[in-house]
Structure 1
């Protein structure tokens, strides 16, 4: 079964077309990596899937349900989607434990004890069990990003969206977050991730999609798209990546 289907997505900001008839399909337990230059539409696509941006045209389906229908309650949809941003977006006035349990308690109406038990389990899994009562400003960037991932996972999402989750990290902290994504893949989590980490995309993705001008211009297995691309624009992009020593 396809978990996510996007057909003909179009998104404009004024006169600027960010998504231009984009199509994407993500199967169950599949990891899809979105690559492309800045401004190619990767982050906007993820924000549209999570209903943080309104579409100008097109259809988004989650497990066959048209979630882009204006009559759909976006809060209900977001309960089935976890999203992690590049800037963490943790609440600074709440402890790590409070950040993770906020939505399960207030939105999903789960008992506090149950939500906290799950949060502690997630923190232990991420090597942050001793940080439950710490505040975000006491954590490293890598630790904050892992807390953000735990917060997204606390709602048991059907789909995880990861938007350049390592771009704000110091290089030595990137590995911590990538290790967690590997673990999620091993658990069978369905994920769409926008990334500049080409080596990681080659390792973890089932499918790599190269975006250019708001469209998926090439898609396929990592070894094909990253190793033997067929589209001239993909080849040009990867040539620059290789010259920069990032692949």
Structure 2
């Protein structure tokens, strides 16, 4: 079966620095694949390359078997089939939660306003914010803002959902409420590629974990193997520091 996402030999450079060095990665239908690694290992850059927010220097990014990284491909059409949630919430401050969620379906996908609003209300309910639909971002907590951002991403019915360290900007007590939403999405079969520092969470929800180090995938496999009995010494060193920091 053709994977939803197939990354082949992906190379990304900034000047003389190689940030991603021939990365191979696949995400199958209804799978959750998690990328872990130290800060600066290339996790966020990988997600941005997949979403075509960064030009790649070599390799391919295939979405449902189609090379969307080909310069001749319709990048905008490919991006409409994906959605990314960043560390920062990136909500429009002058819009309510409802307006933020309904915007892309209405403006980008041409959904009638009433239908876009209805879907936005359903999604806000799904992330536990039905009663905050008319609140502006400055009236929401960080965790609530990130849940609105997730609802906004889901509003376009993405083929692939990309989550880039979505809890890293949150206070510790707010992390759980966001992770519970992602846990529910995974249970519902949403296809997800995510980068995270939350190893315990990655172990719970992932079908596969990839350890990225120095721009290369050093180890990839089931979460119990990669996080519980890693093969590579570098992976063991990384996880020992994670354990010391209390994230495993």
Aligned to 1:149, the other structure's residue is in SS state helix
The corresponding residue for 2:116 is: 115
The corresponding residue for 2:190 is: 189
Moved over 3 A (4+): none
The corresponding residue for 2:154 is: 153
For 1:93 and 1:78, how far apart are their aligned partners in 2?
Answer: 25
The corresponding residue for 1:243 is: 244
For 1:158 and 1:75, how far apart are their aligned partners in 2?
Answer: 14
Aligned to 1:226, the other structure's residue is in SS state helix
1:133 deviation in Å? 1.2
The corresponding residue for 1:50 is: 51
Cα deviation per residue 1:128-182 (whole Å; 9 max; x = unaligned)? 1111111111100000000000000000000000000000001110011000001
The corresponding residue for 1:30 is: 31
The corresponding residue for 1:80 is: 81
The corresponding residue for 2:130 is: 129
For 1:33 and 1:108, how far apart are their aligned partners in 2?
Answer: 29
Aligned to 2:52, the other structure's residue is in SS state coil
Aligned to 1:230, the other structure's residue is in SS state coil
Cα deviation per residue 1:175-199 (whole Å; 9 max; x = unaligned)? 1100000110111000011000010
Aligned to 1:245, the other structure's residue is in SS state coil
For 1:143 and 1:133, how far apart are their aligned partners in 2?
Answer: 13
Structure 1 residues without counterparts, runs of 5 or longer? none
How does the TM-score come out when normalised to structure 2? 0.98
The answer to whether structure 1 residue 14 and structure 2 residue 34 are counterparts is no
Cα deviation per residue 1:92-140 (whole Å; 9 max; x = unaligned)? 1111111111111111111111110000001111111111111111100
The corresponding residue for 2:180 is: 179
For 1:192 and 1:130, how far apart are their aligned partners in 2?
Answer: 29
Cα deviation per residue 1:10-50 (whole Å; 9 max; x = unaligned)? 00011111000100011110001100001111000000000
For 1:99 and 1:189, how far apart are their aligned partners in 2?
Answer: 21
Aligned to 1:40, the other structure's residue is in SS state coil
Aligned to 2:210, the other structure's residue is in SS state strand
1:243 deviation in Å? 2.1
For 1:242 and 1:152, how far apart are their aligned partners in 2?
Answer: 31
Cα deviation per residue 1:184-232 (whole Å; 9 max; x = unaligned)? 0111000011000010001111101000111111000111000100011
The corresponding residue for 1:91 is: 92
How does the TM-score come out when normalised to structure 1? 0.98
Aligned to 1:7, the other structure's residue is in SS state strand
Aligned to 2:61, the other structure's residue is in SS state strand
